[in-house]
Amino acid sequence: MTDLIVIGAGSAGFSAAITAAELGAEVTLVGQGTIGGTCVNVGCVPSKALIRAMEALHHANEASRFLGIEATARLQNWQTLVAQKDTLVEQLRQAKYADLLPAYDKLIYREGRATFDREGVLVNGQRAPADKVIIATGAAAAIPAIPRIDGVSYLTSTTALELQTLPESLFVIGGGYIGCELAQMFARAGVGVTLFTRRRLVPDTEPEIGDAITGYLREEGIVVHAGLSYQSIAQDNGGVVLTTVSDGETTTHHAQQVLVATGRRPNSEGLGLEVSGIDTEADGRIVVDSCMRTSRRNVYAAGDVTGQDQFVYMAAHGAKIAAENALNGDGRRYDDSAVPAVVFTDPQIASVGLTEAEARQRGHAVKSSVLPLSYLPRALAARDTRGLIKLVADRTTDRLLGAHILAPEGCDSIQTAALAIRQGMTVQNLADMIFPYLTTVEGLKLAAQTFDKDVAKLSCCAG
């Protein structure tokens, strides 16, 4: 009998397995399909590699914002770019996953399908006895319930990154972070993109940020249709026809291909959870408590299959907690009160903590500040003032509750705000800190000062 079976060989599964092996446990890691999971194979790594490439293309063509500079760039060979992306994926999969297995003597890798029954776990139909189990099977693209979609050859965020030939026109259905990132990437590659969303773009962000990014995408030529419903979708003359309804008006749209980017669904089907006493939500999420325990004794779950904080770093973090608790007695708790999140649009969206609406829902007396990047010296020097910084605080205690950044370099600044929230800092604490001049992160200080000062009347580095 092994000490621990980990089901799923992605980032969460490897995190759990390595943690347990380091603690001296005998671990069996069960993987099905390509090792490495979503992030390295079809998610973070390949998408950000192509997004970064298209940023280089776009910014070269925008260089004339600096007087005296004239530059242009063009996409010469999409297939070559995709091949370079694939090489990077293969290298990281090998180095960060496959090559790690021999480094842990007590870790055994088994390729196959794991399922539950009333007695325990089976791997490839064979009984696999274990003291504890961690489920880390991840998630896959969710397909929306649009009439007739089953008859359409749609792309997902996985298959879209594998395209060898770019379409002339593309529908992107879904205005979340995946839809926005890929819509902008393909538009910068020269594809005519139309983006559809039932609500607004990036609906989980502050409305000021959602409105601003909508405007920036439209300025790049992306057609954005928000606040609509889908009547039907079908193949039509080698392309796709989508019928939508907005404000009572029905409209038909045509494109060569369609990309569905409407979120993720947990990979919990086929595990036998319904007969094993492991509770799930209606959408398939495995229910866990703050210790990452499921409703079945000695079975834990972590990562996207739980529906919690679907970021690769939180999947790994939750899996580490699950492994430590499974082996050492449930002493650790999962805490996502200060989790930074980034959307890799351009400008980037970076957030941590509560939005203004969330803070009010939790009973805080809220105050907020919004700093347009036109007040940030870094943005002025870069001749790119797209974006804003919004801070949310408790009016009574002055404690910082949330920070939300829309900026070309926003992702590199959000960790400072995460540390501030984690340490219980006030807005005044943030305003009093010393920040380096001509950086994006200095905007946090200026946004904090904006609560009670007119930053337009401050000299450089004042305050």
pLDDT at 97: 97
Q: What angle do CA 356, 212, 171 make, to 5 degrees?
A: 115
Determine if residue 180 is labeled as part of a ligand binding site: yes
- 463 has pLDDT over 70: no
User: Over the stretch 115-141, which tens digit does the pLDDT of each residue have?
Assistant: 999 999 999 999 999 999 999 999 999
CA-CA distance, 311 to 226, in Å (whole number)? Answer: 25
Which whole-number Å values give the CA distances from 114 to 47, 269, 404, in the listed order?
A: 29, 12, 41
pLDDT at 1: 81
Determine if residue 177 is labeled as part of a ligand binding site: yes
pLDDT at 457: 81
Torsion of CA 45, 49, 51, 57, to 10 degrees: 180
- pLDDT band of residue 458 (cuts 50, 70, 90) is confident
Determine if residue 263 is labeled as part of a ligand binding site: yes
Q: Cis omega before residue 347 (within 30°)?
A: yes
Determine if residue 460 is labeled as part of a ligand binding site: no
Beta-sheet strands, E only, within 54-191: 107-111, 114-116, 121-123, 126-127, 130-135, 139-141, 169-173
Phi first, then psi, for residue 414 (nearest 5°) are -70, -25
Q: 268 and 284 in contact (C-beta within 8 Å)?
A: yes
Determine if residue 304 is labeled as part of a ligand binding site: yes
pLDDT at 455: 87
pLDDT at 17: 98
Instruction: List all residues 6 or more positions away from 452 whose beta carbon is below 8 Å from its beta carbon.
Output: none
pLDDT at 190: 98
User: Over the stretch 390-422, which tens digit does the pLDDT of each residue have?
Assistant: 999 999 999 999 999 999 989 999 999 999 999
Rounded to the nearest integer, the mean pLDDT of the chain is 96
The domains of the chain, with CATH numbers, are 2-36+97-140+265-328 (3.50.50.60), 149-262 (3.50.50.60), 341-453 (3.30.390.30)
pLDDT average, residue stretch 6-27: 98
Q: 351 and 336 in contact (C-beta within 8 Å)?
A: no
Determine if residue 174 is labeled as part of a ligand binding site: yes
Q: 299 and 383 in contact (C-beta within 8 Å)?
A: no
The neighbour count for residue 143, using CB atoms within 10 Å, is: 16
pLDDT at 235: 96
- pLDDT band of residue 462 (cuts 50, 70, 90) is low
pLDDT average, residue stretch 244-265: 97
- 266 has pLDDT over 80: yes
User: Over the stretch 213-228, which tens digit does the pLDDT of each residue have?
Assistant: 999 999 999 999 999 9
Among 12-16, 88-92, 371-375, 459-463, where is mean pLDDT lowest?
Answer: 459-463
* pTM exceeds 0.85 for this model: yes
pLDDT at 456: 84
- pLDDT band of residue 238 (cuts 50, 70, 90) is confident
User: Over the stretch 139-152, which tens digit does the pLDDT of each residue have?
Assistant: 999 999 999 999 99
Phi first, then psi, for residue 139 (nearest 5°) are -145, 170
Element (H, E) at 265: strand 264-266
Tokens standing for 249?
């008006």
User: Over the stretch 271-296, which tens digit does the pLDDT of each residue have?
Assistant: 999 999 999 999 999 999 999 999 99
Determine if residue 178 is labeled as part of a ligand binding site: yes
| Chain-centre distance for alpha carbon 415 | 16
- pLDDT band of residue 461 (cuts 50, 70, 90) is low
Instruction: List all residues 6 or more positions away from 453 whose beta carbon is below 8 Å from its beta carbon.
Output: 463
